Amino acid sequence: MIEVVGLGDAGWAALGKTQRQLVLGADLLLGGARHLALVPPLDGQDRRTWPSPLREGLPALLAGARGSVVVLASGDPLRSGVGTTLLELLGPRTVRIHPAVSSDTLARARLGWPAETTDVVTTVGRDLEAVLPLLTPGARVVVLCSDGRDPARLGGLLAGRGLAAARLTALWHLGGAEEGSRTATAGEWAGQDAAGRVTPDLVVCAVEVPPAEQLAGTGSGAATLAGAWGPVPGRPEDCFDHDGQITKRDVRASALARLRPTPGAHLWDLGAGSGSVGVEWCLAAPRAGCTAVERDAQRADRARANARAHGVGARVEVLHGDSAHLLRRVAEGGTALPRPDAVFVGGGASDELLDLAWQALSPGGRLVADAVTLEGEAVLVRAQQRFGGDLTRLSVEHATALGRYLSWTPARPVIQLSCTWKEPHA
């Protein structure tokens, strides 16, 4: 059994008797240099810092270990910590976690924020844009930061999204002798020198977004973001950079209602265009991911940029190439992709492409495909005969000016196939 002991900023003094006995009785003590320095020296104990790269080097290091092994980690080892990595590599039967109070819990305690009203996001080793999906009116978000440069960078990110009035509190060395904090608006933090550290490195940021009525009165442009707030699909087209090759919001909302995003599920977005479907899939459910395929290089770049702008760049992988060619390689074992829980074909559907996508689906997976041409409609009709499911014809009209009056202007009707994989594959 590998024992993983969480340490707070107070270090050894805050550990309980059981955790101290584990650390002192370990034959091998692993941790970062900072963690190891917090523990009193012990003659004869083997102490080692983490291998680099961590995940690749851990199995060999642990395989050569003799006797009891104790790992030191920060706070809650399962909150962006090494505990998660060890559990993934070795399983829960081999790893036992002894958490300390996490930094986000301490931050909430200092601010009086109940857990039920607060989201937590880690940007440690990740892009700060991961906070963007959580920035809704009235939101409270605790952001786990990489270092002391992040408060100013985060302030700049919020100010750039029209949220300069958001309240941003940086809290450092929580629970330790050097604990401190500073509160200012995001706009004021943005004025700091983000190239240098504006706080100590052991820092978290607590963001409080004003309610909608206050944002509307700031004149900051935040009101223009209202169409992009929240997880529900169907954002206006102008929320995305596109060249006209985009699944329109009403059709996109219908497609995602049938694709059914769920936490941790994976989507293949084939013929991604602007990437809007994949982006909204990820925004609709925590940890949802997407592999998007687009044959036009400029559109592929645009899809990547749209994913980053919405804070899901780390969860959307955009591949440049032909969808049918890629799926043939996947079927032949020449290319590995995450197996999809759902597939969306936004254009260019063919009998071969839909058959390959259908065969790749996980049990219970969903396939949704759109067509606007008669030829594309014929492909979807044949697919419905093979796979079952529903065919829906979507007709959308918008009121537009006709002289001094309004008149209905119809968009092209869209045929939408939606089917669920119910039987085991042969």
Start-to-end C-alpha separation, the chain: 42
Report which of residues 292 and 222 the model is more confident about.
Answer: 292
CATH number of 231-420: 3.40.50.150
- pLDDT of 424 above 50: no
Q: Which pLDDT band holds residue 220 (cuts at 50, 70, 90)?
A: low
Task: Give me the pLDDT at residue 221, please.
Answer: 57
Task: Give me the pLDDT at residue 126, please.
Answer: 86
Task: Give me the pLDDT at residue 19, please.
Answer: 94
Please state the rounded mean pLDDT for residues 101-105.
Answer: 94
Give the fold, CATH level 3, of 2-101.
Answer: Cobalt-precorrin-4 Transmethylase; domain 1 (3.40.1010)
CA-CA distance, 120 to 100, in Å (whole number)?
17
Provide the mean pLDDT of the chain. 92
Task: Give me the pLDDT at residue 213, please.
Answer: 78
Query: Burial of 166 by CB count in 10 Å (0-12 exposed, 13-18 middle, 19+ buried)?
Result: buried
**Contact present, 48 and 6 (Cβ < 8 Å):** no
Q: Which pLDDT band holds residue 425 (cuts at 50, 70, 90)?
A: very low
Task: Give me the pLDDT at residue 347, please.
Answer: 82
Task: Give me the pLDDT at residue 166, please.
Answer: 94
CA-CA distance, 119 to 135, in Å (whole number)?
10
**Contact present, 269 and 344 (Cβ < 8 Å):** yes
The pair phi, psi for residue 317, each rounded to 5°, is -100, 120
Share of the chain above pLDDT 70, in %: 96
Pure H helices in 361-406: 374-387
Report which of residues 195 and 161 the model is more confident about.
Answer: 161
The pair phi, psi for residue 333, each rounded to 5°, is 85, 10
Length of the chain, in residues:
426
User: C-alpha distances in angstroms, 334 versus 27, 188, 268, 326, 329?
Assistant: 45, 52, 17, 9, 5
Please state the rounded mean pLDDT for residues 92-103.
Answer: 94
Please state the rounded mean pLDDT for residues 169-186.
Answer: 95
Share of the chain above pLDDT 90, in %: 79
- pLDDT of 222 above 70: no
* 57-78 pLDDT per residue, tens: 988 888 888 899 999 999 999 9
Q: Count CA atoms within 13 Å of residue 300 on its CB side.
A: 15
Task: Give me the pLDDT at residue 194, please.
Answer: 60
Please state the rounded mean pLDDT for residues 111-138.
Answer: 93
What residue segments make up the domains of the chain, in order of their start? 2-101, 104-225, 231-420
* 259-289 pLDDT per residue, tens: 999 999 999 999 999 999 999 999 999 999 9
- The identity of residue 75, as a single letter, is G
Please state the rounded mean pLDDT for residues 301-318.
Answer: 95
Q: Residue holding tokens 């979807």?
A: 380
* 365-391 pLDDT per residue, tens: 999 999 999 999 999 999 999 999 999
Q: Which pLDDT band holds residue 94 (cuts at 50, 70, 90)?
A: very high
Q: Which pLDDT band holds residue 191 (cuts at 50, 70, 90)?
A: confident
CA-CA distance, 189 to 167, in Å (whole number)?
10
pTM for this entry: 0.89
The class of domain 104-225 in CATH terms is alpha beta
Task: Give me the pLDDT at residue 309, please.
Answer: 92
**What is the widest separation between alpha-carbon atoms in the chain?**
90
